[in-house]
Chains A and B, each alone.
Chain A
């Protein structure tokens, strides 16, 4: 299956990139309006996933040290947009988290509650 490739966006203390079937979000998001950078990137990712009929994508946030609530709102927007798609077009998002950042466990668990049929969460380096 062909993947997607989107040039990295490095702005507002974060880096966003997409390679194959993985989206990487890293850095530290505490910008007052992170949607300025995140929303256009996610829209492009979403459209390419639909165009290439990809059925599962990994969102790797293991190097995302912090994401403020304005940044969480952008992920909520993505999940809601995905949930609203007609059945045949839906794909799955797996959030790959790090146990090093405690906020990821709580924030991503809640985000998955929004749409458990389309999203899941996995910890890359679970604590012993």
Chain B
């Protein structure tokens, strides 16, 4: 089974009762703005207002940047689900990652979720200057604060697949 087929076969919790968009692509940086634009058009069709579209678009772009930057093998899958009744959008990003990067990501999300979003974003901004060259973690902090997202992640060690979920209130 090739990497794409494997990614596509993952049960990533898509509730087909909801309006959804599910896309897979090569981990190429140039595809990120295309995916962002595609997601924004999907939300426009589903009558999410302009301000919320920007919020979700920014979150999708930052999460995809992380996925592309730390991709271990080919293949990124992103699913967007719009829950109209609950006024929520769910972003699910699945990609291959080595254990070291995945563990660091899980640790960072755990640390982030213990903090106030603004304080954490400011902390990460200052850290990004102190540790130039290291992964600044600014993208995740931005999604946490600016999109008011609840972020969780899981790592499947056998398949080397990391799944990040962001629930964004509208």
0 or 1 for each of A69-89: is its CB under 8 Å from B? (1 = yes): 110110011001000000000
Name B128's contact: one of A68, A76, A101 (CB within 8 Å): A76
Contact B61 A30 (CB under 8 A): yes
> Is the C-beta of A4 less than 8 angstroms from some C-beta in chain B?
no
Contact B129 A110 (CB under 8 A): no
Chain A contact surface mostly: helix
Contact B118 A110 (CB under 8 A): yes
Give A111 to B36 CA distance when docked, in angstroms.
24
CB distance from B61 to the nearest CB of A (A): 7
**CB nearest to B137 among chain A residues:** A69
Chain B, interface size category, equals 20 to 34
**CB nearest to B146 among chain A residues:** A106
0 or 1 for each of A14-30: is its CB under 8 Å from B? (1 = yes): 00000000000000101
User: Which of B32, B69, B142 is the most central at the interface, judged by chain A CB atoms within 10 Å of its CB?
Assistant: B142
Name A68's contact: one of B65, B118, B126, B145 (CB within 8 Å): B65
Chain B contact surface mostly: helix
Given contacts A110-B122, A114-B125, contact A102 B51 (CB under 8 A): yes
Give A111 to B122 CA distance when docked, in angstroms.
8
Contact A80 B129 (CB under 8 A): yes
Task: Give the residues in chain A near B29, CB-CB below 8 Å.
Answer: 32
> Is the C-beta of B115 less than 8 angstroms from some C-beta in chain A?
no
A residues sitting closer than 8 Å to B (CB atoms) are 28, 30, 32, 66, 68-70, 72-73, 76-77, 80, 101-103, 106-107, 110-111, 113-114
A-B contacts, 27 listed (Cβ < 8 Å) = A30-B32, A30-B65, A32-B69, A66-B61, A68-B65, A69-B62, A69-B138, A69-B142, A70-B65, A72-B138, A72-B142, A73-B128, A73-B138, A76-B125, A76-B126, A80-B126, A102-B50, A103-B54, A103-B58, A106-B145, A106-B146, A107-B142, A110-B121, A110-B125, A114-B122, A114-B125, A114-B126
